[in-house]
Amino acid sequence: MNFVGKSSWFMTASRRRRYLVGVSGGADSVALLHLLVDAGFSNLIVCHLNHGLRGRPAVEDAKFVKRLADGLGVKCEIGQADVKSLMAERSESVETAARFARHEFFANCATAFKCKRVVLAHHADDQAETVLWNLLRGSHGFKGMRELQTIITGSGVMLEMIRPFLGARRAELIGWLNQQGLRWREDASNALPIAVRNRLRNEALPMLSEISGRDAAFAFARGAMNARQQEELESWALEQAKVLDPQGRLHLPVLRTLPVALQRVALRDFLQTHGVISASQTLIERALDLLDVKNPAAVNLPGGGALRRQSARIFYQEPI
Amino acid sequence: MNFVGKSSWFMTASRRRRYLVGVSGGADSVALLHLLVDAGFSNLIVCHLNHGLRGRPAVEDAKFVKRLADGLGVKCEIGQADVKSLMAERSESVETAARFARHEFFANCATAFKCKRVVLAHHADDQAETVLWNLLRGSHGFKGMRELQTIITGSGVMLEMIRPFLGARRAELIGWLNQQGLRWREDASNALPIAVRNRLRNEALPMLSEISGRDAAFAFARGAMNARQQEELESWALEQAKVLDPQGRLHLPVLRTLPVALQRVALRDFLQTHGVISASQTLIERALDLLDVKNPAAVNLPGGGALRRQSARIFYQEPI
């Protein structure tokens, strides 16, 4: 279990603090729950959501998780969603609707148990899939999950997602479970019919490994780790750049002297400050156009606000 | 042919200057030669190497290229290598030995024709393969080919590689050739038995596109472009960091305040200054260990030199 040593959260977090733990019943989350209990975490609440997508087997998953939690003396909350209806209502893919349902379930648990911290079992192989999928969908560079990540759910609840296993391989987790003689539900974690991700996991990454004779999942997961360090470099560079004027507006004569990649960082950061949390690439490129006086002097933002260029500054205009 | 508009080199380079042009006879390099001639480049020398790997068809390729160059009124130099013997002599893969042979051939042409500039037909699909392959082999982030790149060949000749097609798709080039009614040798550019790269091109990238419903080659090629801009950001940040003391040594108290990704950039740059051109990841990580006084105070470098930590500095020690 040297994989938990790679997580500074796991090594240093208070054992008495309360944590919600997402447990599907699959190997990854079962290993997570056992390891937390073994490490002395004494105020855990197991949270399990039945997505309503898999009928009988999903009911068995929930029973398994309940028995597991009971056996470990850990509280357990079982939720029920109807992801199919959600997909129809929200015109979303199964992946997006299922994530929405999970976040709302965690939000309800967070409110009920007065605890916004959610520990999740995502590991390096999940990270590799995420990175590859984001890359194919057009992310600038590697974009993966973070060990600590604050999100705001659709219903406005803040959650702190904690992922201590991002440095661990799925095979390590399964090896540990086998060694300890522990059981899990084979299908529970792979169970959602998320075709693209399953195919990236089961076909694309193995093929890349086979062709190259290298561990493709490791390569992509490492890419995500390096990307995090790259972000620290970017934040540092942004601080050096001093792009804000005393009124907190972007100072164009300064901004124009910076490399374009740093201009993007500055614009993304500026938008974030003003509540535009995850600006798309397209939006950033349009914001970048503001630097050139030949282009229109305003860019509309999601949410109704705008970026405006005036007197050699870019400022944020509140929604009217 | 709007793809040439993406190359600032192509748009602005002097039409009267001399250039060597690598022409295999395949679609990519045939398109390159025609486009250069059409654009008014009037001092070209076609360079074609027979790698000695494909017998009769390779001889036909050379004849085709010679006829093409003659027809266009362009000088043509045909070289002959024996890559199989090179592989044995140098214990190298066919890919590495073939590249070595090509570089030596270009070096000979550069000397003979007093021209160090070599225009090559690598395009966005080649770039995607290169990026993916480097990624699987362990590069930090995206690492691809550059539009302008200076290399020093094994025999010590400096060459300036120029790749105006990195923003163009192979399909665009072929579309243009067909539209113009121009001919090429079908097998010439895919001809080297480089199994890994061919499988990345013919199996992995198409599979990733099929799974994701996105253009995987485009995603990886764009990654390489962003990575170039990222490097500019890094260089800018390194300048701000002022890590060198007046004697040109790395100043540890400054270095230690930087984000780790920028420490890596500083060490890589420092090694490059002292002639260690492409430091491996492993070497950079060992150099990084020098920052911690608990670690040994020296790291040996390829070529016989060393990095040493002394008096809160890291300095370069020449080979003894």
Closest listed residue to residue B316, CA positions, set B271, B251, B257 = B271
pLDDT tens digits in sequence order for chain A, 320 residues long: 677 778 889 999 999 999 999 999 999 999 999 999 999 999 999 999 999 888 888 999 999 999 999 999 999 999 999 999 999 998 888 888 999 999 999 999 999 999 999 999 999 999 999 999 988 987 777 888 999 999 988 888 999 999 999 999 999 999 999 999 999 998 765 556 567 888 999 999 999 999 999 999 999 998 888 888 889 999 999 999 999 999 999 999 999 999 999 999 999 999 999 988 778 888 999 999 999 999 999 999 988 899 999 999 999 999 87
What pLDDT, in 10s, does the model give residues B47-106? 999 998 888 889 999 999 999 999 999 999 999 999 999 999 988 888 889 999 999 999
- pLDDT score, position A141: 72
ipTM above 0.90, yes or no: no
Whether B269 contacts B238, CB under 8 Å: yes
* Model confidence at B245: pLDDT above 60: yes
The amino acid at residue A180 is: Q
Whether B25 contacts B48, CB under 8 Å: yes
With H, G, I as helix, E, B as strand and everything else as coil, classify residue A243. coil
**SS3 sequence of A260-282:** HHHHHHHHHHHHHHCCCCCCCHH
Whether B131 contacts B221, CB under 8 Å: yes
Whether B117 contacts B17, CB under 8 Å: yes
CB-CB under 8 Å, A226 with B136: no
Give yes or no for B138 touching A (CB within 8 A). Answer: yes
User: In terms of DSSP H, where are the helices of A13-137?
Assistant: 27-38, 55-72, 83-90, 94-113, 124-137
Q: Measure Cα distances from A181 to A64, A175, B109 in Å.
A: 16, 10, 68
Give the C-alpha separation, B128 to B220, whole Å: 5
Whether B192 contacts B94, CB under 8 Å: yes
pTM value is 0.83
Give the C-alpha separation, A58 to A115, whole Å: 26
Q: For chain A, give the number of residues.
A: 320
Out of B136, B229, B258, name the one closest to residue A259 (CB): B229
Give the C-alpha separation, A132 to A143, whole Å: 9
For residues B288-319, one letter each, b for 16 or more C-beta atoms within 10 angstroms of the residue's C-beta and e for the rest, the string is: bebbeeeeeeebebeeebbbbbeeebbbbeee
Angle B260-273/B216-241 helices, nearest 10 degrees?
A: 80
- pLDDT score, position B49: 96
Q: Taking residues B41-45, report their average pLDDT.
A: 97
Calculate the CA dihedral of residues B24, B26, B32, B34 and round it to 10 degrees: 100
pLDDT category at B43 given cuts 50, 70, 90 is very high
Question: How open is the CA angle B167-B169-B172, to the nearest 5 degrees?
Answer: 115
For residues A192-218, one letter each, b for 16 or more C-beta atoms within 10 angstroms of the residue's C-beta and e for the rest, the string is: bebebbebbbeebbebbbebbebbbbb
N-term to C-term CA, chain A: 55
Mutate to test the interface with A, among B136, B194, B209, B228 (most CBs of A within 10 A): B136
Q: What is the CA radius of gyration of chain B?
A: 22
Q: Taking residues B176-199, report their average pLDDT.
A: 81
Out of B200, B226, B237, name the one closest to residue A233 (CB): B237
CA distance B216 to chain A (A): 6
- pLDDT score, position A267: 96
In chain B, % helix, strand, coil (3-state, to 5) comes to 50, 15, 35
Closest listed residue to residue A223, CA positions, set B222, B140, B131, B264 = B140
What pLDDT, in 10s, does the model give residues B101-148? 999 999 999 999 999 999 999 999 999 999 999 889 877 778 889 999
In this structure, what token pair is assigned to residue A4? 């938990």
Mutate to test the interface with B, among A131, A135, A209 (most CBs of B within 10 A): A135
The amino acid at residue A76 is: C
Out of B138, B237, B262, name the one closest to residue A219 (CB): B138
Averaged confidence pLDDT in chain B: 91
CA distance A291 to chain B (A): 17
- Restricting to B residues 173-202, those with a Cβ less than 8 Å away from any Cβ of A are 196, 199-200
- Restricting to B residues 205-224, those with a Cβ less than 8 Å away from any Cβ of A are 207-208, 211-214, 216, 219-220, 222-223
N-term to C-term CA, chain B: 55
Closest listed residue to residue A158, CA positions, set A110, A102, A98 = A110
Closest listed residue to residue A14, CA positions, set A53, A43, A54, A49 = A43
Closest listed residue to residue A32, CA positions, set A61, A7, A14, A56 = A7
Residue of B nearest to A224 (CA): B141
Give every strand in the sheet of A148-152, ordered side by side.
A75-80, A44-50, A19-22, A117-119, A158-162, A148-152
Q: Which chain B residues have a beta carbon less than 8 Å from that of A262?
A: 233, 236
In this structure, what token pair is assigned to residue B60? 């036909």
Out of B132, B226, B233, name the one closest to residue A234 (CB): B233
What pLDDT, in 10s, does the model give residues B254-307? 999 999 999 999 999 999 999 887 788 889 999 999 999 999 999 999 888 999
CB-CB under 8 Å, A233 with B141: no
- pLDDT score, position B188: 66
